[in-house]
Amino acid sequence: MDSFAFIIHPLNPRRDIQRKYPLLGRIASDWMIYHLSPLWPPVFLSEVEGVTSAATGKAIKGYLLACPLSPQHFLGLPEKKVYTKIIETGRLAERLGASILGLGAFTSVVGDAGVTVAETLDIPVTTGDAYTVAVAVEAIWEAARQMEIPLESACAAIVGATGSIGRVCAEMLACAATPPAELVLFARRRPALEALQAHLQARCPGVNVTISTDLAELRRAHLVLTVTSAIDAVVDPACLQAGAVVCDVARPRDVAASLAGKRPDVLVIDGGMVDTPGGPAVDFHFNFGLPPRQAFACMAETMALALEGRFADYTIGKNFDLAHVNEIRQIASKHGFRLSGFRSFERPVTAEQIEQVRRAAHRQ
């Protein structure tokens, strides 16, 4: 049976270590967790079963593995050390016989986004970033539809627009049949924003693309797709207008969970999640914080490629294009992956919440 492996890592080290080692997570000090985890070997978390193509009936199995580094380690340790740790985890996938390996969260953000890892390992690798783009943009479009926000008069913003994922999300929105009235791109470095603005203006003539490094300007956005690699929350719902929708694709989150419920007139949805085909038989045998059968889009890209039998490096590096996103979107859709129902800070979004924010939007 073909199989995939997928690497995750602690985002909130104490909470996530407790999911695998309840006692250790309770008794270890923060100092111990921070200093000992880079010395910890890669961890086998679980075997995934039941993932089955809706198109062909092909079933695959999978392995969830953990690279024992936190976002602080990924951004703070020397790059070579981080690569070594990811490659060690990839070697575990090879020993398990996985046919393809997916790189989750910061294992795909760091350095050259999978190029070195793919060159070193003997099994094919993907970051999953292409399907993450497809799912993030689909979520924003669906949110606009449910909230009755007309795209042709809306201001849409992308925070982290110059990153691997943000850049192609921007292109997908700008080149869509109905682009937003204004597309505002946010990041910290202005030259990269200017280059992206010029690229989009050339690629999608007539689309109104503006740039900003000041997140206070998010106030004019109706739709916000946020996907930075910041370790701490960067988007404060306090600076958003009533009726705005934020789709938070970043992990760790760009909108602090502590702000849940503080702006009932703003809808914050957890972005980048899909339902996995295979029905009730799908079991990840590990709680990585999502409801049963739900997966992150990057994990879903790895599973979709295994169902398709595409065992070659797929989304690697920071410069993939829209055609690549459209291809994986078709492959995933064919095998039965679907955008999940909206959740906000890990809870299902209720019809009342949508109605409350919709009314706020219409009062503007």
Ligand X SMILES: NC(=O)c1ccc[n+]([C@@H]2O[C@H](COP(=O)([O-])OP(=O)(O)OC[C@H]3O[C@@H](n4cnc5c(N)ncnc54)[C@H](OP(=O)(O)O)[C@@H]3O)[C@@H](O)[C@H]2O)c1
- Site of interaction with ligand X (CB under 6 A): 105-106, 108-109, 128-129, 132, 160-166, 187-189, 192, 227-230, 234, 249-251, 272, 296-298, 318
**Which of 24/230 has CB closer to ligand X?**
230
Residue closest to ligand X when measured from CB atoms: 163
Distance CA 31, CA 354 (A): 42
Q: What residues have CB less than 8 Å from 25, skipping those under 6 apart?
A: 14, 15, 17, 18, 19
Cα dist from 286 to 37, 289, 299, 336, 354, whole Å: 20, 9, 14, 22, 31
Minimum CB separation of residue 227 from ligand X in Å reads: 5
Minimum CB separation of residue 23 from ligand X in Å reads: 28
**Which of 28/100 has CB closer to ligand X?**
100
Distance CA 96, CA 94 (A): 5
For helices 129-147 and 164-174, the axis angle rounded to 10 degrees is: 50
CA atoms within 13 A on the CB side of 273: 22
Minimum CB separation of residue 24 from ligand X in Å reads: 25
In which order are the strands placed within the sheet that holds 100-103?
43-52, 59-66, 3-8, 100-103, 125-126
**Which of 10/243 has CB closer to ligand X?**
10
Minimum CB separation of residue 259 from ligand X in Å reads: 16
Minimum CB separation of residue 307 from ligand X in Å reads: 18
**Which of 17/130 has CB closer to ligand X?**
130
**Which of 249/331 has CB closer to ligand X?**
249
Minimum CB separation of residue 10 from ligand X in Å reads: 12
Distance CA 40, CA 67 (A): 9
For residue 354, the surrounding DSSP H or E stretch is helix 351-363
**Which of 290/307 has CB closer to ligand X?**
290
Please give the single-letter amino acid code of residue 57: G
**Which of 273/361 has CB closer to ligand X?**
273
CB of 228 closer than 8 Å to CB of 109: no
Q: What residues have CB less than 8 Å from 175, skipping those under 6 apart?
A: 203, 204, 207, 322
Minimum CB separation of residue 292 from ligand X in Å reads: 17
